[in-house]
Chain A
Amino acid sequence: MSTGPASVSGGARWRSWRIVSMRSEGSSAWLLAPAALLLAVCFVAPILVVFRWSFFADGPTLEFYREIFGSTLYRTILARTLVFSLVAAVLSVVIGYPAAYFLATRPVRTRMNWLAVVLLPLWVSSLIRTYSWLILLGREGPANMALMALGLTDQPIQFLYGRGIVYAAMVQVLLPMAVTIMYAGMLSIEQTFIKAARILGASPAYAFRKVFLPLSASGITNALVICFVLSLGFFITPNLLGGPREAMISNMIDRAVNESLEWNLAAALGVVLLLVGIAVAGILAFAIRLLTSPGRMPR
């Protein structure tokens, strides 16, 4: 048809679009302002205060760090916190990955229903969920009652106050998070990638290993790091379900703040937790990338 006028108007449209995009490029930074302000006041500033407290008593000092690293108790609890968090995060990711895969490969129509099921537990606060473990698994709770009624045991089983129940409760809290994070990452993987790998000669397992897994690696890393960092801060769960022998670093911070009123020590514990958390998260991210890379192929 009339190619002349169409190309002119097309060119004009293109130019005006470019002007709009250039303008918005420079001036859209204000969109960040509310979040940046909130973070600066409520996050960065307190952290700086905590850093300061951990290094200053009457003058600059390292005594609080010396106290932490010189004490077997703190070293043990720090190590335990790391192990708990790492194991809980890995368990959440390992258990959550197949579920996320299932969700991501559903047809769009049914996907949302499945996602709602996964997110359902988040409607109940983790405090209530933790207490419900206490009720469920207590000496006279329904679990023990049922087992005794069935004659499987003649004495109540000690479910609570141990490492196992802490892991179970932590994973239970973390799992919806792990699933949704990995699911979101998997949505960007086109289903035809697997088809392409298959027709090129790959078995389902090979296609998964070389194509799907590497492409879902960033989701795994995100889930792992977020679950790990969240775990570091858990303290209701170990406190209520694990008992004093399974205390985590957050419980020690809680005690230093609320009971012994050693705020500088609490600050130093907080700083150690933060730095160790960042370091481990970095190592995890690197390890995942290494583990899931498609391997060396000719350039």
Chain B
Amino acid sequence: MAGGGDAAGATDRRWGLENGSRHRGNALTGARILFSSIRKVYRRDVALSSFSLAIEAGEFVTLLGPSGSGKTTALNILAGFTAASGGTLGVDGKSILDLPPEKREIGMVFQGYSLFPHMTVAQNVAFPLALRRVAKSEIARRVGEALEMVRLGSFGARMPNELSGGQRQRVAFARAVVFRPRVLLMDEPLGALDLKLREAMQLEIKRYHAELGCTVIFVTHDQGEALALSDRIAVMTDGEIAQVGTPAEIYDRPDSQYVAEFVGRINVFPGQRRPGNRIEIPDLGLTAALPDTVAGAAAETVNMCVRPEDVEIVGPADASGMLACDATVEEAYFLGDTVSYSVALAAGRRITVEHQRRASTPIMPAGSRLRLGIRMSSAHYFPAV
């Protein structure tokens, strides 16, 4: 590779490698990434329509969406595997759209890990360093360091097929960051792992991010993963960003019914707008005041959406200030720390109620009658589409 030596030198200087010390904390800073109106059009369909997103240096941003929502397309355009049909893409203010993948200095962890099966773990991790003409002794040291970071220090001589899924995942991670890229892409990296391992790896990824300080773009369809890991989440649908925000913003203040339903679960009560900015909800048999922020035309259909954990089980007396309703338990799903009840409202609609519990909390059997209360402040209103 022409100029490989220079690139390696520049990389080393950037990270102050001369001192040979470990780089912990935020000594390594990530790059800013700016997608502006990036489009990708295939012959028949639009994979990405005007995708704009500004990502801060060192930020952990998740692209969350179902398959076909454009999240992987955005990632592939950033990596250089897919050419954009339009728009600009800058890393630290410099456009990278004309660079081939190998000139972008971006780390990437693939869904199936993509470890080279004919190379040992150490050879896999050394691959990007050998390409950058790093000196032999330096390669050995940095490979050791990277494997140490993912707690696989003694696995260098193994072949990838001798490792478990979680170990392969960690080798893939070590290989992606060993050349100290300022941007790291992760494409559903935990998809192939079982639940326990996935949770453990989430913690690991948080730790790596804190240690390396690089900008991370993480792609997943798993909303739990997105909520647990991200500084910010971009929820995607049909090639567009539906909402960008911190996990708490996305979960507590969804912009649209789509986001509310995709991230977490939510009960939907169809309602009708009435004069005086009120909403009539037939399922609850009542009319409530709409918040001023919910603008719209008279008689329009508005959905009231409430998360299952925001539907409270109340006594007959203490539902003051709440929207209250009688219901019958149809089924109880025991989840350990919570019980998820499927209940039928008096008007017939079936909703989900999630009830926090302790060891002493009894579980209400099917057929139990109970009274539900919903705080006005925990309801979300979206115009029906």
Q: Interface residue tally of chain A, by bracket?
A: 20 to 34
- Dominant SS among interface residues on chain A: helix
Contact present for A201 and B128 (CB under 8 Å): yes
Known A-B contacts A199-B80, A294-B119, A299-B157; the reply to A193 vs B114 at CB < 8 A is yes
Is the C-beta of A202 less than 8 angstroms from some C-beta in chain B? yes
When distances are taken between beta carbons in the complex, the residues of chain A under 8 Å from B4 are 201
Q: Which of B114, B123, B139, B336 contacts A294 (CB 8 A)?
A: B123
Report the minimal beta-carbon distance from B131 to chain A, rounded to whole angstroms.
Answer: 4
Please measure, in the bound complex, the distance between the C-alpha atom of A202 and the C-alpha atom of B4, giving whole angstroms: 10
Is the C-beta of B296 less than 8 angstroms from some C-beta in chain A? no
Contact present for B102 and A297 (CB under 8 Å): no
Q: Which of B1, B105, B130, B132 contacts A297 (CB 8 A)?
A: B130
Is the C-beta of A29 less than 8 angstroms from some C-beta in chain B? no
Is the C-beta of B117 less than 8 angstroms from some C-beta in chain A? yes
Please measure, in the bound complex, the distance between the C-alpha atom of A299 and the C-alpha atom of B334, giving whole angstroms: 51
Contact present for B156 and A199 (CB under 8 Å): no
When distances are taken between beta carbons in the complex, the residues of chain B under 8 Å from A198 are 80-81, 100-102
Contact present for A199 and B116 (CB under 8 Å): no
A:186-200 near B, CB below 8 Å: 190, 192-193, 195-200
Number of interface residues of B (CB under 8 A): 43
Residue of A with least CB distance to B143 = A298
Is the C-beta of B127 less than 8 angstroms from some C-beta in chain A? yes
Residue of A with least CB distance to B100 = A198
Please measure, in the bound complex, the distance between the C-alpha atom of A242 and the C-alpha atom of B130, giving whole angstroms: 51
Residue of A with least CB distance to B125 = A298
When distances are taken between beta carbons in the complex, the residues of chain B under 8 Å from A206 are 1, 131
B:74-92 near A, CB below 8 Å: 79-81
Contact present for A298 and B175 (CB under 8 Å): no
When distances are taken between beta carbons in the complex, the residues of chain A under 8 Å from B244 are none
Contact present for B334 and A297 (CB under 8 Å): no
Report the minimal beta-carbon distance from A47 to chain B, rounded to whole angstroms.
Answer: 36
Contact present for A2 and B102 (CB under 8 Å): no
Known A-B contacts A1-B333, A294-B123, A297-B126; the reply to A199 vs B108 at CB < 8 A is yes
When distances are taken between beta carbons in the complex, the residues of chain B under 8 Å from A294 are 116, 118-119, 123
Cβ proximity bits B91-121 to A, threshold 8 Å, 1 near / 0 not? 0000000001110111110111010111110
Please measure, in the bound complex, the distance between the C-alpha atom of A190 and the C-alpha atom of B111, giving whole angstroms: 12
Is the C-beta of A266 less than 8 angstroms from some C-beta in chain B? no
Interface centre among B81, B114, B123, B333 (most CB of A within 10 A): B114
Contact present for A1 and B123 (CB under 8 Å): no
Contact present for B122 and A298 (CB under 8 Å): yes
Contact present for A199 and B334 (CB under 8 Å): no
When distances are taken between beta carbons in the complex, the residues of chain B under 8 Å from A185 are none
Cβ proximity bits A134-176 to B, threshold 8 Å, 1 near / 0 not? 0000000000000000000000000000000000000000000
Between-chain CB contacts (< 8 Å), 6 pairs: A1-B333, A198-B102, A199-B80, A200-B128, A201-B1, A298-B136
Besides A1-B334, A193-B114, 9 other A-B contacts (C-beta < 8 A): A3-B336, A200-B127, A200-B131, A201-B179, A214-B118, A294-B119, A298-B130, A298-B139, A298-B140
